[in-house]
Each structure stands twice: as C-alpha cells, then as structure tokens.
Amino acid sequence: MKKHVLAAILGASVLFSAQAGTLHVGTEATFAPFEFMDEQTKELTGFDMELIAAVAKAVGDDIKVQNMGFDGLIPSLQTGIIDVTAAAMTITPERVKRIDFTEPYYQSGLVILVKKDNLDKVKDLDSLQGKTICAQIGTTGAMMAKHVKDAKVTEYNSITEAFLELKQGGCLAVINDKPVVDYYLARRGDKTVTTLPQVFDAEYYGFGVKKGNKEMVAKLNEGLKKVRESGEYDQIYQKWFGTKAQ
C-alpha cells in the first residue's frame, strides 16, 4: 500500500516536471548565426535561441539560457545543471553514447578556412598533413583536424579566437561548420580569408538531453513537430539564413 502511494507521488512528480515549467538550456554563444550575443541588447540571440524558445513555448514551457564552454555542455547535461543543449551540436555516434538527441533540426557540414595567400599551399584536407590547424574545443571540426596525419591542432574555447589566430598566422587553417564560416565571411567582409570548395560530411544538429531522459526527448520532438507545422520553423530559418529551409 505504502509503496503504491510513493509510486503515485513519484509518478506525479515525474509527470509534472515533464509537463510545464522552465527548461534550462545550455549553449556556447560564439557561434553566429546559431547562438551569439547581440552587441546592442546584450541578449543571446540566433537561430538556435529562437528555435528552442519556440519549441519550449509550443509545449507550454519557458526557457532560461546558460552560456558556457562547448566542452562543458555534455557534462552539464549529465550532472543536471541543464536540461537541454541548444548549441549547433552535431549528432555524432560518439556523442550518442553519452547523451540523447532530439530529431535533427538543421543540416550542416564542415569546411576548411584559409588565408587567400595560402591557397597555393592548401588545396584539400590532405595538404594539411604535418601543418597547424585551429578549431573550437570539443567540436567536430577539432575531431576532423585530429585525424589529419601529423597535424598540430590547437583548440580554442571560442571559434572567434580560432578565426583570429588564422588571421594572425598562428595556424594555416580553421576547420568549422560551414554556415558559421559563411556568416563570418559575409558579416566581417573579410577579404583576406576564404573557404576551400569541398564541404565534408552531412552533419545534423540536434538538441541534446541527458541519456535516458525519454520524456524530455519526446516533449522536445513534439515541440519541434508543432513549430514545423505552424510555419514558425520556416520563419526563423528564413530570418537567419535568408533562404527557405531545405
């Protein structure tokens, strides 16, 4: 009897926490146009920020966003500091062992960014063998860099630092997500750097949650479905990428 009462209370609290409240969202906000600080309002903004807010709203929640190191996101999920990551995080087999993901919400890929002066030296990934590569810590760009034979890989806390280091000649190339590099090139109007034509791997971004938290995954997937159906996803996509969602 007592056991039943306890089970009912536990069940109710699980149900309650899965129903309404505040979603604690973790991000790393140097990754425009997905997550970054709006210089004027000093608020975090971007595609991911608007999408996760819309998804949460669609299931009756609000959000509270915490900005942290990209390499701190998975540990923060695991220790319950945050409920979900909205950080342009690629769904990789390695990460799927440690956390769960929602349905994919964005298709991406990696590119190599170099100084135009070095285009004769760097033609493809193989020409980076034994060379210096910059990337953001813990990212798929950094993982790819580490697979290049004898390359010396420097990982930075923010992608902004990696871009700066490339400009200053501290490394020969940066490997990073294409939409972020494209946004950087378009916004900064930087004519001294460019990307190599090849785009690597179809990568898909998902919102990450603690391994085994099925209610949270189901809730977020339901929210995603709703914002896709309502046209809100398309609006947010159009706003940040200037084109129709693929």
Q: Site residues (CB under 6 A) for ligand ARG?
A: 27-28, 31, 35, 70, 87-90, 136, 139-140, 159, 177
CB of 200 to ligand ARG, least distance (A): 12
> Which of residues 90 and 102 has its CB atom nearest to ligand ARG in the complex?
90
> Which of residues 61 and 177 has its CB atom nearest to ligand ARG in the complex?
177
> Which of residues 31 and 184 has its CB atom nearest to ligand ARG in the complex?
31
> Which of residues 179 and 223 has its CB atom nearest to ligand ARG in the complex?
179
CB of 47 to ligand ARG, least distance (A): 11
> Which of residues 201 and 222 has its CB atom nearest to ligand ARG in the complex?
201
CB of 102 to ligand ARG, least distance (A): 14
CB of 140 to ligand ARG, least distance (A): 4
Contacts (Cβ under 8 Å, ≥6 apart) of 182: 195
Residues 134, 153: Cα–Cα separation, whole Å:
6
CB of 199 to ligand ARG, least distance (A): 13
Q: What values do phi and psi take at 24, rounded to 5?
A: -90, 110
CB 220 within 8 A of CB 143: no
